[in-house]
Structure 1
């Protein structure tokens, strides 16, 4: 499944007449021999053919490909589109190549419509809460229906839907009295606990938008988020200690509509500062509806919330559990290591879990297939999933590979792994779009590219965020008008993807320098900006390295300033400590290397591939 180390594609032209010749009583001519081995990923040999008089009769192309990287239908598609391109160039030699149309009408319809058709899922008759509901309305309906059912399990404590609803209502009435309502942000700075769930529900019931502030965030990042978002108040342990016992336990009047913000999540920013993504209740309702269907969550299920509150998947786990009438299982601080997490999955009888690929890999051991008999569904995400890992976990349970950016409300596509399925290029596909969502793989001119060809992935549908908080320019840059749906928007993910010939999406990397590590989106530029602010640092670069397969890590490179002609001494440990003061743990490089200079490409850009 690996690529050729020097070059991957060869195009050869054989334009000399074939070397046939005559010997006494013998005619000799060249005969092609299939060696059964591909020398490169893809080789195309174009041969000019001649008749007996030496006049050219046309050209013939022979393609040789590595079966571990391509399937026959993909290469046949390449050939068909190449011929189509040549025909258009011959018909109008003066036409710009960029205007040539590679797709036939049926191909275009298949890519834009057929592979984006989710009507079967939308009309499957599944009984899920009414789609036009905020998180508060969805939870209240479930609490009225099954008040005694378990809603949250944490540290040996069980809280039912009815009790949780009453506690959230008391806090919601208190929040309303302090001016919380639609378009108002409320920070929640609480460790993982029942109180944290109460706070999130209360903010939604009051009509406000939830701003997660992980207590483990570095102070500098926390302060930036507070200054940037300007929440009307922060629910921290002191605020939660307020006596709200006299407040009503009844559901407050509905405060927020579907178009109002549900939460704001901050993600890494390429300019050196994080940006807040404003997600509406429309996206939350669509997410809950989809996840319950695709994951098979129902009353009696137990959904683990592994991700920290600063990650949108944590909110997705909460919505999925409550939409399906399941119990949300919260791990204690010491239960996130591999061994402790396995014990929690077994002891709490967790049925559904969503984990980064790196965590799944760390949990894998001989016998994991039978060690967790209650575990029904495993969702892998955040990183490229290798087929062997998915196959290991899929024995006796469902494994889904999920994909989705924060700007499109957690999840836009999934692929259910089946035993013995073929993989293209050694990765598990990210599948097909979820209900009411459309996915487009486009070129730089916003035109769809053929199956098997990489392009930038765009998303449209109800899950699209409103945009970036107080960043109108960036919102306009990333959320663009759709040329395929009048009045609709698309989100530019910055991810590269390609359609397989059977209509499954495959992740193909990033179109920019952004990386994903343990499920977190990271802009190296943000880390570089903090490094550049450290005393004595003149230049900085950060890359994600994978020297050992499956072990991806961040490495920083710095060039010291000079004082009186000599380089300033830089201590890597001191720089790491400084980064830890201003960045979340997952953004702190595991190593810092001091260099005399950073290598540049011929056009003056940083040559990241030349870094040691």
Structure 2
């Protein structure tokens, strides 16, 4: 009934931390390329030189062990080395998303109590945030004499906090998760052993730095002496182009968020290439790969509170079409318990909540380490052993594989990120026109139902109001006005009944028929991608649930219908009828081959 692929280490031996491993490669292979992006690259020697300089600067500013240091940079070589410098200084990095609203950035900085931020002056100036000591990532360099070895990083205790990552909270405020070096080192050990990554390998970085998958992409790669490729942003919405780039760049191992990976898996791949392993995670994998794929597919599962990955499995081709692939078995150092409501083990095959134990379990939430999701692990004898209640409902099959069944609460997975609707509702209700707001999950997106305080509400204006205050993944795809919210017999909002309500107001004019075959094919593609039952030719793709991932799906679905559509076309013409007109014009002016 209790399961671990390998018991957590009971000895007191200290783990080799990530900064030490990077320093070792800088000494052994200083001329090898460590990180490359669209504009520049650094060798391991150059990386260590700049990491040491930044770490020294942080120490001069009085940064101490476990103190949080913010990083405010785009995905780039500089972003990676800034995070590495924070680790080398013994502090904990907090990666901020430069694309999110300033109000959200301020909220995270205030909660984290960060005093220092690594950034570029011109970029930081755009936030208008004051009160922090900015460290210029481009200025913190020092000359290194030819033949002089890079100075090794000072040892960091493996029980020190490595990074702070925020996840959604039902209280209306995000929760900061404190992940320790021991858990990060365990993740790196597992990754390198499972995927046999070495100095000749090439890996990718494509997740937002503010997502915990950043740690999975970056630290195993640099700990192995391999080369990390920061993927260009334009490729993240173009699956076919991303496939071509992976092949052309000689990538051997890559992590891809599940929604994007599922689009890659639908594409034809060359028979012979360098790619050995594709790791997916962040959302439920809905199907099995084709037998013709020239690489292995690995399904990873893990909450932020358990250092990115807690369970995994290789997904074989040709699995049962009526059941999604499992989320696997625990990785070494992690234990998985399937428990009932009273936290007692259930029999294999029975549903229960997944609880996780072992070295990967985070220290706790910043400011509330005794939160009831973290609890004393009664199944282990080590003092202070912690377990984490994931809130995920699973069952364990006879072969030991865990199968995801759903949530025990209202949390929703949006673009690979857990979002608690209770965090969105109070922000929406703060708008002066809204009397009551309820947010639910439906088809991998958030929907908001609102009642008006006086008169009516403007759904478009409400979404813009939220976009100025919340990260993009927390903004509901649609805001649906309704005269009243359905209630249960106990006087609570009936969320199940809400999910059955139409997305258009009663009495709204039915959508007009498409004017031609181009508009009809485009309408069908929109319906499929958005999971909607009706769209209007005057609808704006991004105001009825569209986002960057759905843009890439729309491109693929449109091509299946004979339309030559590019991501840039959707951004330039987000209204359906305008987009159809643009496609007709492209056909008219296309040069015959």
TM-score under structure 1 length normalisation: 0.74
Instruction: Identify unmatched segments of 5+ residues in structure 2.
Output: 122-134, 502-593
Q: Which residue of 2 aligns with 1:90?
A: none
Task: Pick one of 356, 362, 367 that aligns with 2:268.
Answer: 367
Q: Which residue of 2 aligns with 1:558?
A: 450
Partner Cα distance (1:310, 1:186) in 2:
13
Task: Determine if contact 2:300/2:327 at 8 Å carries over to the other structure.
Answer: yes
Change (3 A) 1:178 1:134: same
Does residue 175 (structure 1) correspond to residue 73 (structure 2)? The answer is no
Task: Pick one of 205, 210, 222 that aligns with 1:305.
Answer: 205
Change (3 A) 1:340 1:401: same
**TM-fit CA distance, 1:280:** 0.7
Partner Cα distance (1:366, 1:377) in 2:
16
Q: Which residue of 1 aligns with 2:403?
A: 506
**TM-fit CA distance, 1:272:** 1.2
Partner Cα distance (2:451, 2:118) in 1:
42
Q: Which residue of 2 aligns with 1:15?
A: none
Partner Cα distance (2:107, 2:6) in 1:
40
For each residue in 1:297-353, what CA deviation from the matched residue of structure 2 results, as whole angstroms up to 9, or x when unmatched? 222221111210110001221111112221111022323212442343233222212
Partner Cα distance (2:41, 2:260) in 1:
27
Q: Which residue of 2 aligns with 1:485?
A: 380
Give the total of aligned pairs: 477
For each residue in 1:54-105, what CA deviation from the matched residue of structure 2 results, as whole angstroms up to 9, or x when unmatched? xxxxxxxxxxxxxxxxxxxxxxxxxxxxxxxxxxxxxxxxxxxxxxxxxxxx
For each residue in 1:281-308, what CA deviation from the matched residue of structure 2 results, as whole angstroms up to 9, or x when unmatched? 0111001001112223222221111210
**TM-fit CA distance, 1:117:** 3.8
**TM-fit CA distance, 1:242:** 6.4
Matched ranges for 1:167-206 at <5 A: 167-206=50-89
Matched ranges for 1:19-418 at <5 A: 111-112=1-2, 115-118=3-6, 132-155=15-38, 157-238=40-121, 239-240=135-136, 243-246=139-142, 250-251=150-151, 254=154, 256-338=156-238, 339-368=240-269, 370=270, 373-387=273-287, 390-392=288-290, 395-418=293-316
Change (3 A) 1:522 1:241: closer
**TM-fit CA distance, 1:371:** 6.9
Does residue 586 (structure 1) correspond to residue 473 (structure 2)? The answer is yes
Q: Which residue of 2 aligns with 1:534?
A: 431
For each residue in 1:527-568, what CA deviation from the matched residue of structure 2 results, as whole angstroms up to 9, or x when unmatched? 11210111111111112212xxxxx32211111113xxxxx2
Task: Pick one of 454, 460, 469 that aligns with 2:357.
Answer: 460
Partner Cα distance (1:448, 1:300) in 2:
44
> Comparing both structures, which one devotes a greater share of its residues to strand?
1
Secondary structure, in 3 states, of the residue corresponding to 1:582? coil
For each residue in 1:346-386, what CA deviation from the matched residue of structure 2 results, as whole angstroms up to 9, or x when unmatched? 33222212122211123344413x27722211112111112
**TM-fit CA distance, 1:137:** 0.9
**TM-fit CA distance, 1:580:** 0.6
Change (3 A) 1:589 1:371: farther
Q: Which residue of 1 aligns with 2:591?
A: none
Instruction: Identify unmatched segments of 5+ residues in structure 1.
Output: 1-110, 123-129, 547-551, 563-567
Change (3 A) 1:586 1:476: closer
Task: Determine if contact 1:437/1:459 at 8 Å carries over to the other structure.
Answer: yes
Task: Determine if contact 1:131/1:286 at 8 Å carries over to the other structure.
Answer: no
Which structure has the bigger radius of gyration? 1
Change (3 A) 1:304 1:253: closer
Task: Determine if contact 2:340/2:352 at 8 Å carries over to the other structure.
Answer: yes
Change (3 A) 1:280 1:394: farther
